[in-house]
Amino acid sequence: MIQGPGIFLAQFMSDDAPLNQFDTACRWAAGLDYVGVQVPSWDGRCMDLKQAAESKDYCDELLGTAKANGVAISELSTHLQGQLVAVHPAYTSMFQVFAPAEVQTPQAMQEYGSQQVKWCLKASQRMGLKAMPTFSGALLWHTVYPWPQRPAGLVEEGFAELARRWRPLLDYADECGVDCAFEVHPGEDIHDGASYEMFLDAVDGHARACLLYDPSHFVLQQLDYLAFLDLYHDRVKAFHVKDAEFRPDGRTGVYGGYQSWQDRAGRFRSTGDGEVDFGGIFTLLTKYGYDGWAVLEWECCFKDSQQGAEEGAPFIQAHMITPPTKAFDDFAGGDVDGSAVRKALGLE
């Protein structure tokens, strides 16, 4: 069955106690009834990623710290480092904040991000974790709305290049026994089902090229997030429980008009405050046998993060489904009776 509730620490870590160090952050999460934490591997307040890649003892120490403070580590995330694996030069200055000051070019960012991803995969292996949430990065995003018309072959070459960068990392992930769970997200070249399929084709259907499912990004794109699970459930290896709403008007729609989050048509909300059908989502994930974590990701432009965290665990718990051990109508059934079957068909 689905594991959880978990919480992604990325949006909560701060320079103020108790969220300024890993042990007290775990204790804070446990105090709010979370049983797991998804760890931002880039945040030094949580962990030293290089040391985790090199030392089983250090990984055991991190796992022990989490356990001693009431939670398990659900996954290690590389969202920021994965983004750097593919950076279009036009975005260099914006993404430079995701890397050390000396990493200033797209090539340097790719090398840095790729090494970080490999370290995280090794650390995940050492911790016995099964999935690594990440971003794909983007070389094509500036052409998503094609004006002027995209040059012939641009999309194909874009995904071929993305595959060239990720294929070695996916092969390494396979060596480590860890799935790369790409979050389908606007701003990434993998931003919907069609783009994921193009990437999957470019990496020859690689078994480790999997998905992090976050319905909030589908609401903002007006994509059918339940049908997405019907299509790609076998590739979903991580799950962010994040709510959203889409309320277009005469001024703004999907693209947001460069407005602040509160004034956009599509807005992320705290769980239960948006329009995502989590009942339907948990039902489908249970139907398809998803046994990974349900992890709260909090991003809301109206509600304080502490309130969002307090409300998140009981919200997730209320949607968790224990699969049945028998069918509800078993009482009316019985062993196969060939004669009865034929009589029911009018054959006897």
Within a 10 A sphere around the Cβ of 283, how many other Cβ atoms? 15
pLDDT along the chain (348 residues), means of 10: 97 97 98 98 98 98 98 98 98 96 97 98 98 98 95 98 98 98 98 98 98 98 98 98 98 96 97 98 98 97 97 98 82 78 90
Structural Rg of the chain based on CA atoms: 22
pLDDT (0 to 100) of residue 123? 98
Contacts of 94 (CB under 8 A, 6+ apart): none
Instruction: Say what the alpha-carbon torsion angle 309, 311, 315, 317 is, to the nearest 10 degrees.
Output: 70
- For residue 335, the model assigns a pLDDT of 76
**What pLDDT, on a 0 to 100 scale, did the predictor assign at position 321?**
96
Whether 268 contacts 261, CB under 8 Å? yes
Q: Enumerate residues 6+ apart whose C-beta is below 8 A from 28.
A: 18, 19
Domain 3-344 belongs in CATH node 3.20.20.150: yes
Residue 340 is predicted with a pLDDT of 86
Distance CA 134, CA 168 (A): 15
- Interacting residues of 140 by C-beta distance below 8 A, sequence separation 6+: 154, 155, 158, 159, 189
Angle between helices 56-68 and 22-31 (to 10 degrees): 40
Ramachandran angles phi, psi of 121, nearest 5°: -65, -45
**Single-letter amino acid, residue 340:** A
Would you list the domain boundaries of the chain?
Answer: 3-344
Residues 6+ apart with CB under 8 A from 6: 34, 35, 36, 37, 38, 74, 293, 294, 295, 296
CA 233 to chain centroid: 13
HEC profile for 240-265?
A: EECEEEECCCCCCCCCHHHCCHHHCC
Please name the residue that has the structure tokens 């139907």: 287
Whether 157 contacts 207, CB under 8 Å: no
Record the tokens describing residue 245, joined without a space.
């709403």
pLDDT of residue 21: 98
